[in-house]
A = this chain, B = another copy of it.
Amino acid sequence: MPKATINDIAKKLNISTSTVSRALSEHPEVSKKTRDRVKQIAQEMNYRPNIIAQSLQRGHSKIIGVLVPQVRHIFFAEVMAGISDVMEKSGYSVLICQSNEKYENEVKNVETLIQQRIAGLLVSISEETKNYDHFKQILENKIPLVMFDRICSQIHTSSVTTDDYKGAYNIIEHLIKKGYKRIAHLAGFSTMEIAKQRILGYKNALQKYKIPINEKLIIENGLNEEDGAKGFLELYNNLEEKPDAIFAVSDPVAIGAFHEIKKMGLKIPEDIALTGFSNNPNTLMIEPALTTVHQPAYEIGKVAAELLLDKIINKNEEIIQKILSTEIIIRQST
């Protein structure tokens, strides 16, 4: 059955299209009787308002976009849960796009979301992204933008992060106090703010305890499981003096290293200690369970969604940067 238009309803009731249109939007100048009659016929004829046309008029839709690296990364899946819960209650639909860690996809996704006339956007940038013009476009188009976790300091907007510096600092301090001496860091690319802060926390904790920084013990690589496996092998095989502990920039990186360590027949934590960052549910499942830094993923999503709604609904143009605190979770891997 083809969809009925406002025209069809007008013809059927022998009234003007503008009366139909006003009746459907509950305009007070149209009598209650006419409004009810129009709505009844609209329902009978399976009329569906053209929401695209409506959002062209209004300038935006009741839809918010979320751009993440990949939902496969359990941290982002958890953040999504927090975002969805808030948006669901406020009657907003959520469209999710994945960059799959590629700059090109990210730019394309931003284009798509702008063209969908989203009411606002939540973003965590890809590993590859070093140019931020696509986010400038978002701001130029006056679309409310909140960044979370993987933010970039070049884009002046509200954001939600966790205290990456302190999380890293505290976990290194824990390792030092446990007696580890050659602590390596499987780092993220320092072009990313979160990776930069974690490297900084690592270095400053070592300096505090007068342990010299050895650049050979730092490998800058990605944030995902395959990067952890690759990074660990590169680090371990190339060093004559092996590290006795590893601080991985993320839990997936730690899990990637974990599998390689097991394959080599090394014991955790006796031969080598291992720590992650995020406290993903699976860090509790491996044996030994992973010492890590708790990042409140669900909370990050919830707070970011609330900040965005405040911009959309209350037109709050203030820039608010929330930094949630982290907590180190000590388990059997250290």
Evaluate contact between A95 and B98: CB separation under 8 angstroms.
no
Q: Is A74 an interface residue (CB 8 A)?
A: yes
In this complex, how many residues of chain A approach chain B with their Cβ under 8 Å: the count is 45
Contact of A52 among B52, B76, B255, B287 (CB under 8 A): B52
Evaluate contact between B63 and A56: CB separation under 8 angstroms.
no
Contact of A74 among B1, B70, B74 (CB under 8 A): B74
Q: Tell me the complex Cα distance, A30–B154, Å.
A: 41
Q: Is A53 an interface residue (CB 8 A)?
A: yes
Contact of A95 among B61, B95, B105 (CB under 8 A): B95
Residues from 284 to 300 in A contacting B, C-beta threshold 8 Å: 285-287
A48 contacts which chain B residues (CB < 8 A)? Answer: 114
Q: Tell me the complex Cα distance, A112–B87, Å.
A: 14
Q: Tell me the complex Cα distance, A71–B94, Å.
A: 13
Q: Tell me the complex Cα distance, A52–B59, Å.
A: 12
A74 contacts which chain B residues (CB < 8 A)? Answer: 72, 74, 77
Q: Tell me the complex Cα distance, A116–B62, Å.
A: 11
Q: Is A44 an interface residue (CB 8 A)?
A: no
Cβ contacts A46-66/B at 8 Å (1 or 0 each): 001011110110000101000
Q: Tell me the complex Cα distance, A307–B63, Å.
A: 28
Contact of A287 among B61, B77, B287 (CB under 8 A): B287
Q: Is A131 an interface residue (CB 8 A)?
A: no
Cβ contacts A67-89/B at 8 Å (1 or 0 each): 00011101011101100100010
Evaluate contact between A115 and B84: CB separation under 8 angstroms.
no
Evaluate contact between B71 and A88: CB separation under 8 angstroms.
no
Q: Is A97 an interface residue (CB 8 A)?
A: yes
Cβ contacts A264-307/B at 8 Å (1 or 0 each): 00000000000000000110011100000000000000000000
Q: Is A117 an interface residue (CB 8 A)?
A: yes
Cβ contacts A84-113/B at 8 Å (1 or 0 each): 100010000111111010000100110010
Evaluate contact between B97 and A96: CB separation under 8 angstroms.
yes
Contact of A282 among B52, B53, B109, B282 (CB under 8 A): B282
Contact of A94 among B50, B88, B98 (CB under 8 A): B98
Evaluate contact between B93 and A108: CB separation under 8 angstroms.
yes
Q: Smallest CB–CB gap between A90 and chain B, Å? A: 12
- Contact A93 to B78, CB < 8 A, known contacts A52-B115, A98-B84, A115-B52: no
Contact of A112 among B53, B63, B71 (CB under 8 A): B63
Give the residue among A48, A51, A71, A282 with the most B Cβ atoms within 10 A. A71
Contact of A72 among B63, B80, B112, B287 (CB under 8 A): B80
Supply 13 A–B pairs (Cβ within 8 Å), ascending by A.
A70-B80, A70-B81, A74-B77, A84-B98, A93-B97, A93-B108, A93-B109, A94-B97, A95-B95, A95-B116, A96-B96, A255-B285, A281-B282
